[in-house]
Amino acid sequence: MEISSIINLMLILLILLLVGVFARKTGVINDQANKHLTRIVVVLAQSAMILAAVMNAEPSLTGLELLGLVGISFVAYAIMLVVVVLFTWVLRIKPGDRGVFQFMALFGNVGFMGFPIVASLFGDAAVFYASLFNIPFNLLTYSLGVMMISSGSGKKARINFKQFLNAPLISAVVAVLIFVLKIPIPKPIAGATELLGDMVVPAAMLVIGSSLGNMSLKEVFGDWRLYVLAPVKLILMPVIIWAILRIFVTNPLILGMATVLASMPVAANSTLLCIEYKGNEALASKGVFITTVLLVLTIPLTVYLLLV
């Protein structure tokens, strides 16, 4: 894993992100187009990427190791939750914003940025592992995450259990069945799935760039609390996860993947959930912006110091 290749990868992602910003500023992508492109990425391309990891690659982990992977993910989230609670307590975040800050510090943008980066660093098969590692994210986002965001509104949120059954989670289950049952996949289907999955990287960067391009820079950079959130989210969190998990996780691929996924920027759906559950939408959007831009600098540093 060469540091130069990691830096090159992040520069490529940054360029694609800037193309998305430019497209938004010039009207090539508007709110409606961004919404539809997001659904294409999440429902079709991201699901195809997960399935292609099993159809076109040879996963090296055993079934027992895959089960353990999900357990390790729950452990990682438990560790991060402790850090998150301490973080908001030390900063004395006011009750109205505390839940949003906790959500931003806990949940990372695994689907849009984590999967492409994991694939680039560890190979296509690692996307399959990352999809299993992401199962707790899908379960916790729409339960604990919803409670965090809605806590500032003073109203008890109603959890929509239909959101637990989303396309990436279903694709991960199907991928496990293909892997465990050794189901043969015809080459045309596998090839089409791989091509569709290749959309994730450029399309996801366009979506994120388009979202960032709709924001005022003056407003974004005016909240000092986000300059504390960013290093906690992007540097401290992966360092803690790496330091604790390496005690009992002997597989370097699993340890590396867990570390990288813990270093992702604020989850893109934080803004959407704030809109739905009366959280601080502006705060969430600013958190997504700052941590996404800074990831270009922090992920090469994290990988170089901890994994190379």
Domain boundaries, given as residue ranges, for the chain: 3-300
Structure-token pair, residue 53: 């990891």
Query: DSSP letter at 162?
Result: G
Contact criterion met (CB below 8 Å) for 139 and 70: no
**Closest Cα partner for 211 from 275, 292, 142?**
292
- Which pLDDT score, from 0 to 100, does residue 154 have? 59
Q: Stretch 268-275: mean pLDDT, rounded?
A: 78
Q: Alpha-carbon torsion 55, 56, 57, 58, what sign? A: positive
Q: Give CA angle at 228 (225, 229), nearest 5°.
A: 85
71 pLDDT more than 60: yes
- Which pLDDT score, from 0 to 100, does residue 156 have? 60
Q: Stretch 65-78: mean pLDDT, rounded?
A: 88
Classify domain 3-300 at the CATH topology level: Na+/H+ antiporter like fold (1.20.1530)
Query: How sure is the predictor about 192, in pLDDT bands with cuts at 50, 70 and 90?
Result: very high
157 pLDDT more than 60: no
State the Cα–Cα distance between residues 66 and 71, nearest whole angstrom. 9
- Which pLDDT score, from 0 to 100, does residue 161 have? 64
Q: Stretch 4-21: mean pLDDT, rounded?
A: 82
Contact criterion met (CB below 8 Å) for 133 and 80: no
Q: Alpha-carbon torsion 284, 290, 291, 292, what sign? A: positive
What is the pLDDT of the chain when averaged over all its residues?
83
